[in-house]
Amino acid sequence: MKVVVIGDALVKSATLKDAVLQMNLEGKIDKIEVFEWHSDLTKDHFQKHILQIERYGPEKVEIPQGILEALKDAEYLFAHYAPISEIMLKSAPKLKMIGTCRGGLENVNVAAVRELNLPFLHVIRNAEPVADFTIGLMFAETRNIARAHLSIKSEQWRKSFSNDAYKTTLANMVVGIIGAGYIGRLVIKRLNALGIKVIVYDPFVDPAIFARDQLSVELKSIEEVFKEADIVSLHMRVTEQTKNMINKDLIQLMKPGSYIINTARADILAKDDLVDALKNRKIAGAALDVSWIEPIPKGDPLLSLDNITLTTHIAGDTVDAIPRAPYLLKDVVNAYLKNGYSDMLIK
């Protein structure tokens, strides 16, 4: 049996190979062939390739040299950020499984995977950090933590803010979750622990999962969530169906004292509609860890708003999230091979 692994600047091929050796794959591993995808770059220089593949997908970036030949007799393919494109998949007639040790799917041609009916497993390597950060942004935006800090650094002592008429404790608010996948459910778990009412929209999640995970939620339509929630937190993937899904039609349903939090992907939110709502005080504020262009360019309208908290796409960035990722994938693969199912199986 042959396994192909592709390392990159963040997850080294040696680590991924070590995790593969701990997988209970079907049969004896005869060969693990290793490839690299910009593994020689620093984290900062690798960022441009991350942004490229997240925005344009696996068909628009270069693939590792020699990999098409290697995939001809490979039965398993594991990677992190490297592209898994249609030509790669169609070069691998013996492939039994694909695994990636990250949550996003932008680097994989999912349609091609489905067409070939291959099991595709992934892991939300930074799910816990993102869930923590999401809660942090809720506090930071609603209670003006970042703005007060900025005023002190600017030699001011600011006590008044644009949301003064709506300031209250998080316990008095209703939080709406759009997208109750793995990260969304971790956010719900934290909100439940804080005693905060949670309403949810996700037509693709089996309602039985909430009972299984002992989560207290009310399921609503997306329009009901935007009408009723004081904070709407976005946790969806970017697809053709979800791009610009959160637009003026939904934002105009929100209460004047409500907020939008986005730690998912920028493209699910219509930028001009959000800027208009914030500029004209149609909603109280927003907090974004992701932006449509990163870094945010000088002169961007986001930078002139006084009712938004911006961070530099760091929600999932902790010292242990990425190094643990291959071993999380190992656990997911082993559980799937043992039980025949997994929450991390992309269908």
Q: Any idea which residues carry the catalytic annotation?
A: 265, 294, 313
Here the tokens at position 160 are 């008044």
The answer to whether 50 and 80 have CB atoms below 8 angstroms apart is no
The answer to whether 107 and 331 have CB atoms below 8 angstroms apart is no
**Burial class for 196, CB neighbours closer than 10 Å (0-12, 13-18, 19+):** buried
Beta partners for residue 99, in sequence order: 78, 121
Alpha-carbon distance of 38 to 34, in angstroms, equals: 13
Residue 199, SS3?
strand
Alpha-carbon distance of 178 to 234, in angstroms, equals: 5
208-222 burial, b if ≥16 CB within 10 A, otherwise e?
A: eebeeeebebeebeb
Find the radius of gyration of the CA atoms of the chain: 21
| All residues at 6 or more sequence positions from 50 whose CB lies less than 8 Å from its CB, including other chains | 81
Alpha-carbon distance of 263 to 131, in angstroms, equals: 9
DSSP one-letter code for 107:
T
DSSP symbols for 255-275: -TT-EEEE-S-GGGB-HHHHH
Question: How crowded is residue 172: how many other Cβ atoms within 10 Å of its Cβ?
Answer: 9
